[in-house]
Structure formats: structure tokens, C-alpha cells
Structure 1
Amino acid sequence: MIGALMLDIAGTTLDTQDIELLQHPQVGGVILFGRNIESPAQVRALTDHMRQIRPDILIAVDQEGGRVQRLKQGFTLLPAMGRFGELYQTEPERALSLCEECGWLMATEVLAVGIDFSFAPVLDINDISDVIGDRAFAKNPQDIIALAQAFLSGMQRAGMATTGKHFPGHGSVKADSHIAAAIDERSFAEIEAHDMQSFVQLQSQLDALMPAHVIYPKVDAHPAGFSEFWLQRILREKLQFDGVLFSDDLSMQAACVAGGADARIQAALKAGCDMGLVCNDRAAQLIALKGIEDLALPNQARLERMRGDIPKLSIAAELELGTTWHEVRERITAFKNAAI
């Protein structure tokens, strides 16, 4: 059974407390960061060990490309998604082809080392945000939809579930929600007509969504990830979205409005999230776990859809994933280097 808390670990191997925590019924996932990565072989050994302890655990990573990719040593360095948006202006067919291949390449490498999914792609608009920028595909919904559709298709072709973030849109908010409260003063009609369109139009290709730690005060007083309006009335009822809802990191500054770590994860789950993330703070993880240990387990059918098609293979010091992988890797690397 899969629990409602996703947490992280400190090192490249599991320590005694990690092993104990992985066995708690309400721990459902582990997210890996750069500090957990030494080589492809080491990552696969780590994820295999996690599954020996807890066979049903979901393992995730942020492997977007550009400045947000945790798997670097021994992995393909991917371009920022905004590079595809730039190419799309002059060579749309080539941009879409490369984007699909990039989604496949990212997912293929992530799955090979035993990680179920990457929290990708970003469906926000590249507008004024300090934290989004070229993590977004483009500056307008139409281009984002076309490019993200290709990237999502590549992920799915590799056997990986998809996660769109950050619903209903973080790109039109300047503040970085990791370190400050993020507030978007626009009306629901404005948000729905602009930022939300990529999420709406791509819904059929999305297995999960991650709501933004942004407050839209003209719509609801709570950040989207703590908002029954956004998660229940809009996503579940109006849009009929039945995928997984992951909270963004509940240790981020913009999440502090909900109180302590126990209150934050309780608020996220009550609003409609299936799983809450608490990262980079073991003390907060223990508090959060205490706060939800008596709650019912989340929707298992939804969460099971996030399980990756992980190949049964032995990973050597260097990745070796076949001829197609080599060819695609060369094309994506050449494009990344040419785009700099």
C-alpha cells in the first residue's frame, strides 16, 4: 500500500532512520536530489535497496532539463525547455521532433536507474516569474501546448507517467514561492483564459498535476495546493481530472501560511492532494508523519498509475541503453550545445 507522504534522504545510501521511515505505512514516496546522485550504478543500487525494504514505494526526481535536473553525473545533460520554444518560432517541425525525443530520453534514463517518474513537464508560461523562466516551454499557451504534447508523448513512449506543474499557473507571479509568499491578483476568468489553458488542453495526457504554492486572492484565500476550490471544484468537478494531485514541497516558504509541517500536510490532503511532499527537513518529515498517521491511506488506484515501466537490467558505471538511445542522446546534446 502507498502512503500519503513523500520525503527525501540525506545521502547516497540508506541509513538506519531512512530504513525505519520507509516501512511506515503513510510513507508513500521518496524524491531524490543532487546530493543523492554519484553515478547511474549507485542510483540503481539505491532504488533497488529502497524497493527491497518497501516494494510498493514510488520513487521520483525533478529531471526537467536546464537548471533543474538532479541526475547529472553519467546522465545526458538536457536543454532547458525554453530552448525548444525558441526553435519552434523558426523551425516548428524540428522543434516538436526534438522535444518528443527529449521527453523519451529523459524518461528512458530515469527509468533505467529505478526511478518511477520525473515531476515533469512544467506547463507554466514564461512571463514574469523569478523561478519559472526558461523552465517553461514558451511565453504563450498555444506554443506550450504543442511542445508539451510532444514531450509528454516521448515520456509515455518510454513508459513513464506524466506530471504537469504548477496548476493553475506560476509564470505570471514574480515571487519565488520557495522563499516568499507568491500572490497573483488576477481574476479567475483571466487565469482560466491564459495560464490555465495548457493544463486544460493537455489533461488527457497527464497522469498527475502539482498545484502551485500561489495565492489567487480574487479566487480563494488559500494557496492552490491548500484550496478546495482549485483542487475539488475546478480540477475534480469542473475539469473531471482523475489523476494524482501531488502537493509542491510543503517546506517551501509559501506553504508556511498553513502552519507547522503537520498542519501543512493535513491542509494539503484535506483540500484534495493525494500525496504531500516534505523535503530537505527530516524534523518536519517526522512531524508531518505524526500528523497523518491516523488518516486513511490515499487513493491507491490513482497512485499506482505513477509506477514506472522500470527495466530489469544491471547498470554499469556508465549508462548503456542501446543504439536508439545513443542516437537520440547525440541529437539532443548537439542541440543543447548549439543553443547555448
Structure 2
Amino acid sequence: MSEQKAWIAGCAGKRLSPDEKAFYADERPWGFILFGRNVGEAAELRDLVAELREAGGRETTPILVDQEGGRVQRLRPPLAPRYPASARLGELHDSDPEAAERAAWLTGRLFAFDLAAYGFTVDCLPCLDVPVAGANSVIGDRAYSSSPEVVAKLGRAAAAGLAAGGLLPVMKHMPGHGRGNADSHLSLPVVEASCAELEASDFQPFRALADLPAAMTAHILFRDIDPDQPTTLSPIVIADVIRGRLGFGGLLLTDDMSMKALQGEMRDLGRRAIEAGCDIALHCNGDMAEMRAVAAGVPELVGVSAMRALAAEAYGPTHLQPADERTLRAEYEAIMGPPVA
């Protein structure tokens, strides 16, 4: 089997088309990511995940999803319970830190039960962004807290819960999206804060969790660090901040390359992201023309990036701790109340 290429693909619908199957076989993405448009009935979703894994050519082909609770929850009832936004755990921490930390772990572990049932192996969680007053609401209650210490503690617990369920956690959005003055889905956020301010707050949770195996970049321009390029395309931010100051040595994914924060031709953007130091370019919207361009711009997944990818793939299986789902759901409900049907 030839090597994978340094990208992750989305798909258009609830089943793969013949064109998609042939394209994936040729362009060999490392993994796939699913969104709400891809989620149908339970049997449909399992079939789609199986199709993607077959298209990927490996039993270990990673299948990703964003399952955070609150606004960002791709699997909803009846496929999975509704969970509160991460900010609810931060609110609990204000009154009962121990209960909040346990609830964060339980949330990750229950997400793992929910997702593994359909074949997912990766959850893009925890969100380690530290929001500040006046920032765009795109993060908002997706963040655990405005305290970097609380974000780090609850993010660590959630990641451990996912791993105990056999899933790979992906922390986001490195090195911090909490100050963004725009929604990066629509335009490029610019952060004017000094590097010293960022060090004192935004960077802290990512530094504390730098031992985790995978992370996702923020499509944000930090003017005091690199006034010309957003993080995803910035060798300065990736080398000096993410790999340097924060000490992150794991697999670095881009945020979605199809978001409007990045401007330019998709092939060029994919190439530039890898050249800047990202290991894998993530493309989510399932548009075939865009996917062809991204795939044409990225290289084979080799060298240190391939080693990081192998370590990330092994992380969930090697941390799996079998547990009784009913018992853990009852414990979660005793702390947080029953999920909304």
C-alpha cells in the first residue's frame, strides 16, 4: 500500500458517489471528516463510515468529527444525546471544581461511547481557547472558561475521557482563538494583543496540554508575531510559537481550508500550509473541485509528519479502558442532570 497524502477529506452526502470513491483511491487522504450533512439514520451513518474506511484503504483510516456539545454537535438525538456546551462545565467549576473535572472526564468518555458506536475514531475536542470580552462569538460558550487554568484542567479531563474510550482527542484552535475579532468561517480574524499578553493567557492551556498527540491550528493573524500570515500559513507562528514556546511535538492539522479566513487558490493554500509546518491539511466541505486542488497541492505524508500521524493513530487504542456505559451515564446525570432528548 502506498503512503497516504498529507490531507483529510470531507464528502458531499450520506453515501459516497463512484467519483468520490475513485478520487479517494487515487489521492489517498490520511483520514476523513464528517459533518451534519453526512449524518443520516444510524445504519446509514455506519455504512458511510465503513465506505470511507474502505476508500481509505486501511482499517486504521481515521474518521473525524466535531462533537463538543452545545452548538457544535454533529451527532444529535436519536443517534446521540444532546450535551450542554463546554461553558456549562466551567460554570460548575466555579462552585464545585472536583465535580466539574469529573464531569469533563465523563463527557469525553460518553462522547467516546456515542462516537465509537458508529465507527468514529477521532473527536476534535477539547476546545482550549480562552475567550475575552468583546471577541467574536464564534467561540463563546464552546470555551470552558475565561480562566486559562480552568480551561487547561477541564480540557485535560475531557481529552483523557476520550482516550479512555479509545478515541484520539484533537485540541483546538492552536495557539488560541479566544481573542478573534471575526468568525474565521467568514473572514480572517486579526489579534492585536502583544505576544506578552498572549503568553499570559491564550497560550497557557496549549502549553499545559502540549503532550497531547494532535492539535488543530487557528486561522488567525497575530499581528505582533507575524503581521503578514495567519497561523495556518505562518512558518513563524508554527515554528516559534506552536513548536517552540508551547513545546507541541504532535500531529498538527490545519483548521478547515475551505473557511473564508484563508484567501487564495486552494492548491496553493494546501501547499503553503504544509510548507509552513502543518503536518496535514484539513478540507471539510466535500466540494470535489476544491478537494482536487487541495490534494494536488499537498505532498506524501512522510518523515516526521508520518511518525506523528502513526503516534496519533495509536493513541486511542493504547489508552482504551473498558468501562460500563450505564454506570458512567448515571454518574454523569447525577452531576449534570439528564441529557435533553
Which residue of the partner structure matches residue 231 of structure 1?
Answer: 238
Among candidates 163, 167, 172, match of residue 174 of structure 2: 167
Does 2:326 align with 1:326?
Answer: yes
For residues 212-247 of structure 1, the C-alpha deviation after alignment (integer angstroms, 9 at most, x for no partner) is 100011110210111111112222244442201000
Does 2:135 align with 1:133?
Answer: no
Q: Which runs of 5+ in 2 are unaligned?
A: none
Among candidates 246, 251, 256, match of residue 249 of structure 1: 256
Which residue of the partner structure matches residue 318 of structure 1?
Answer: none
Which residue of the partner structure matches residue 58 of structure 1?
Answer: 62
RMSD across aligned positions (CA): 2.1
Question: Structure 1 residue 173: deviation in Å?
Answer: 1.8
Q: Which runs of 5+ in 1 are unaligned?
A: 311-321
Among candidates 74, 80, 83, match of residue 75 of structure 1: 80
2:221 counterpart letter in structure 1: I
Question: Structure 1 residue 282: deviation in Å?
Answer: 2.2
- Distance in 2 (CA, whole Å) between partners of 1:291 and 1:179 is 23
For residues 49-105 of structure 1, the C-alpha deviation after alignment (integer angstroms, 9 at most, x for no partner) is 222232153211111111101111321222111000001101111111111100111
- Distance in 2 (CA, whole Å) between partners of 1:84 and 1:116 is 24
After alignment, is 189-198 or 68-77 more displaced?
68-77
2:279 counterpart letter in structure 1: D
- Distance in 2 (CA, whole Å) between partners of 1:26 and 1:116 is 18
Specify the SS of the correspondent of 2:249: coil
Which residue of the partner structure matches residue 194 of structure 1?
Answer: 201
2:325 counterpart letter in structure 1: W
8 Å Cα contact 2:203/2:246 also seen in 1: no
Question: Structure 1 residue 24: deviation in Å?
Answer: 2.3
TM-score (norm 1): 0.89
8 Å Cα contact 1:247/1:273 also seen in 2: yes
Quickly say closer, same or farther: Cα 1:277–1:201, change in 2 above 3 A: same
- Distance in 2 (CA, whole Å) between partners of 1:273 and 1:217 is 20
- Distance in 2 (CA, whole Å) between partners of 1:48 and 1:338 is 28
- Distance in 1 (CA, whole Å) between partners of 2:333 and 2:281 is 34
- Distance in 1 (CA, whole Å) between partners of 2:337 and 2:13 is 30
Aligned residues: 323
8 Å Cα contact 1:226/1:271 also seen in 2: yes
8 Å Cα contact 1:250/1:279 also seen in 2: yes
Among candidates 119, 131, 134, match of residue 114 of structure 1: 119
- Distance in 2 (CA, whole Å) between partners of 1:87 and 1:102 is 13
Which residue of the partner structure matches residue 308 of structure 2?
Answer: 302
What are the equivalent positions in structure 2 for 1:218-297 lying under 5 Å apart? 218-220=224-226, 221-256=228-263, 259-280=264-285, 281-292=287-298, 295-297=299-301
1:134 counterpart letter in structure 2: D
